[in-house]
A and B are shown apart, each in its own frame.
Chain A
């Protein structure tokens, strides 16, 4: 067993931490309050190399391993969930499907742009009436000559309507499965600006307020036949695989967010005095901090092991589901106790910890709810 990170991973962690503290921390609260996506911070994250981290240099990426990618997301989330979301969705959901299933032409066309962070790509899966039941998607794509004609809508799609969004991968029904059991699903690429395709920014979010979230509308939207991603009928499978890997980055957001909230709580509890003593010296508070530190450590080991398996091309789906579930729930507990330790000040925006408290809630819902994760794990351990 070897728990040591490589020197490159250590340098990477320091780089991303210092970048997040200097470039993102000063603007995070204001962007959150305004519910505003920042093109500027997105661009500087791109310049640092945070998009296309696991993509080979050939397509403009950094050629790093999955552990490195997850460390980067963790360090961003330690400072701000929204920016971590932009990077995690950009890599796992935007770039991922193009990288793993795209044709050589599709990869050459899109990946170099997406790897600079100057352009973003969305992954259109969830629909107003198809959340956990993603296979029940109603959006349809019908082949008409050499074109797909797409109709339907998608919701809660990250990075699809930012000023620099270039397009989306959309999962749609393309027919009925050969065995007659349910719909045949396929993924199709749709560029921004295609007639009949509208991406509308969603507002009024509780969390991730400076990440870009969209509703997508397809109204007789026509795209060339070659915009099919991978094979026809493989859409559901592609979606499941994409989410397997995506879970690792959601786990990283939980881990990093828990770490950030814990550090805020620790600092505050040592400085805040009541009854003539720092409140961290009261056992009831010290034990809270001890529990936080313990759970964060356990979450980190679980998540890193899942990434390590992926880097070694071993089955990682079970651990990815466990890590996603555990890290997001750990952040929930840690952020809640971190606010508690702050007392009344914890309820105020000025103290930042309330942002962690809000941001954590997405993690038990997005990219597979905690309930679905438990179902995935229960199936993988053979309980059902």
Chain B
């Protein structure tokens, strides 16, 4: 079974994001980069399928050289091989384009399942997986919390507003992982040492015969508004406090 997991490297969720000087990118000076947390569920699920049914787990990432670290982390978790599509300018690219690019690298791997995280926690788009599914002519089962493989049929569960959709299709398929699918393993210390010797292939856009073809670009990034300081309602008696509160809500906050 050929199991492919696409990995995006994103800022550590504890990083304080600052808008860059150009107003349409983030300031990357002090950022620690990690594997997108939803992608970890994808790596874990692929490793579990491998343990059960056999096969190879190949992780694929696109972006600057630093993405190597996220791929090595997946190798340390137990993946067999990694492919990095290295390009310094890819971070922040149109996700539909990134999907087409990934598809070019994935197609020759002849995948049975292509895993994604349900979205990346940096831009929250969740589009690259659909783009890959489209480019490779695969069905896409998105935001899943459970999967069962039976021969070439896969059945998945997808939570929808407190209910669960059960969907099924034939392989090959593109899946996107939601929290709850599994509990990702740690990259163990022996795993980290083994990962050093695992193959990591680097390709360029030119190697894949792809040129930048972004249909959208980021026009601006605005930081969230600063939280206004709280206001303490003054008053001597409960009645007076209530009157002043109502007044503030009506006249200042304009919510009633």
User: Which residues of A pack against B, CB within 8 Å?
Assistant: 7-8, 10-12, 14-15, 18-19, 47-50, 53, 57, 62-64, 72, 276
Contacts and interface: CB of A to CB of B under 8 A. Distances in A.
Contacts of A57: 190, 193
Contacts of B190: 49, 57, 62
A11 B76 contact: yes
Nearest to B184: A18
B110 interface: no
Contact of B189 (A7, A14, A15): A15
B188 A10 contact: no
Interface string B58-97: 0000000000110011001000000000000000000000
Nearest to A23: B186
Interface string B169-202: 0000000000000000011111111011000000
Contacts of B68: 7
Contact of B69 (A7, A15, A50, A62): A7
B34 interface: yes
Pick the most buried of A18, A53, A62: most chain B CB atoms within 10 A of its CB. Answer: A62
B189 A12 contact: yes
Contacts of A48: 186, 188-189
A8 B73 CA distance: 9
Contacts of B69: 7, 10-11
Contacts of B192: 8, 11-12, 15, 62
Interface residues of B, number: 17
7 contacts: A8-B72, A8-B192, A15-B188, A19-B186, A48-B188, A50-B189, A64-B189
Pick the most buried of A8, A18, A63, A72: most chain B CB atoms within 10 A of its CB. Answer: A8
Pick the most buried of A18, A48, A53: most chain B CB atoms within 10 A of its CB. Answer: A48
B72 A11 contact: yes
Contacts of B76: 11, 15
Interface in B31-59: 34
Given A8-B196, A14-B34, A49 B189 contact: yes
Contacts of A10: 69
Given A18-B186, A49-B188, A11 B73 contact: yes
A49 B187 CA distance: 10
Given A8-B196, A14-B34, A62 B189 contact: yes
Interface of B: 34, 68-69, 72-73, 76, 186-193, 195-196, 229
A11 B188 CA distance: 10
Contacts of B188: 15, 47-49
B243 to A, nearest CB: 24
A333 B147 CA distance: 52
A67 to B, nearest CB: 13
Contacts, number: 50
Chain A interface helix/strand/loop/mixed? helix
A57 B190 CA distance: 9
B35 to A, nearest CB: 9
Contacts of B186: 15, 18-19, 48
A15 B68 CA distance: 16
Contact of B73 (A14, A49, A63, A72): A14
Nearest to B70: A11
B128 to A, nearest CB: 24
Contacts of B72: 7-8, 11
Contacts of A18: 186
A49 to B, nearest CB: 3
Pick the most buried of A18, A47, A49, A63: most chain B CB atoms within 10 A of its CB. Answer: A49
B208 to A, nearest CB: 24
A47 to B, nearest CB: 7
Given A19-B186, A47-B188, A48-B186, A62 B193 contact: yes
Nearest to A72: B189
Pick the most buried of B72, B188, B189, B192: most chain A CB atoms within 10 A of its CB. Answer: B189
A12 B186 CA distance: 10
Given A7-B72, A10-B69, A15 B193 contact: no
Given A11-B69, A49-B191, 13 more contacts: A11-B72, A11-B73, A11-B76, A11-B187, A12-B192, A14-B34, A15-B186, A15-B189, A15-B192, A18-B186, A62-B192, A72-B189, A276-B229
A377 to B, nearest CB: 33
B108 to A, nearest CB: 27
Contacts of B187: 11, 14-15
Contacts of B195: 8, 11
A49 B189 CA distance: 5
A276 B73 CA distance: 44
Nearest to B196: A8
Nearest to A276: B229
A323 to B, nearest CB: 23
A72 B188 CA distance: 12
Nearest to B66: A7
Contacts of A7: 68-69, 72
Nearest to B189: A49
B130 to A, nearest CB: 30
B199 to A, nearest CB: 15
Contacts of B73: 11, 14
A57 B197 CA distance: 14
Contacts of B229: 276
Nearest to B77: A15
B79 to A, nearest CB: 13
A12 B190 CA distance: 10
A267 to B, nearest CB: 11
